[in-house]
Amino acid sequence: MAYVRAPAVILATGGGGQLFQKTTNFPGASGMGYALALEANAPLVDMEFVSYEPTVAVGSEKIAGMELPTMAFSEGCGCSMVGEKNSFKTAPPSSKDVMSRAMFREVREGRGTQNGAIYYDLRNMSPDAALGYSQIRRVLKALDVPSREAQVEVMPTQHFLMGGVVTDECGTSEMPGLYAAGEVAGGAHGAHRLATCGGTEVIAMGAIAGESAAQYACGRKRSGGEGRAVPRPELLQTAMDAIDQDRIATVRAALEGGCGALRDRQSLETS
Instruction: State residue 57's pLDDT score.
Output: 96
* Topology of the domain comprising 1-49+162-221: FAD/NAD(P)-binding domain (3.50.50)
Distance from C-alpha of 32 to C-alpha of 30, rounded to nearest angstrom: 6
- For the CA atoms of 94, 97, 101, 104, the dihedral, rounded to the nearest 10 degrees, stands at 110
CA angle 258, 45, 255 (to 5 degrees): 15
Instruction: Report percent pLDDT > 70 for the chain.
Output: 85
- Structural contact between residues 86 and 78, judged by C-beta atoms closer than 8 angstroms: yes
- Residues 6+ positions from 160 with CB-CB distance below 8 Å: 15, 17, 50, 51, 183, 193, 198
- The contacts of residue 225 (CB under 8 Å, 6+ apart) are 3, 5
Lowest mean pLDDT segment, chosen from 101-110, 160-169, 187-196: 187-196
What's residue 198's pLDDT? 87
**Terminal alpha carbon distance of the chain:** 34
Local confidence band at 85 (pLDDT 50, 70, 90 cut-offs): very low
> Domain spanning 52-158: which CATH class is it, in words?
alpha beta
Parallel, antiparallel, or unpaired for β 118-121 and 151-161?
A: antiparallel
User: pLDDT digit string (tens) for 115-148?
Assistant: 899 999 999 999 999 999 999 999 999 999 999 9
Question: Average pLDDT of 161-167?
Answer: 95
Q: How far apart are CA 105 and CA 94, in angstroms?
A: 15
Among 51-65, 81-95, 247-261, the minimum mean pLDDT is found in 81-95
Per cent of the chain over pLDDT 90 is 52
CA dihedral 131, 134, 139, 144 (to 10 degrees): 50
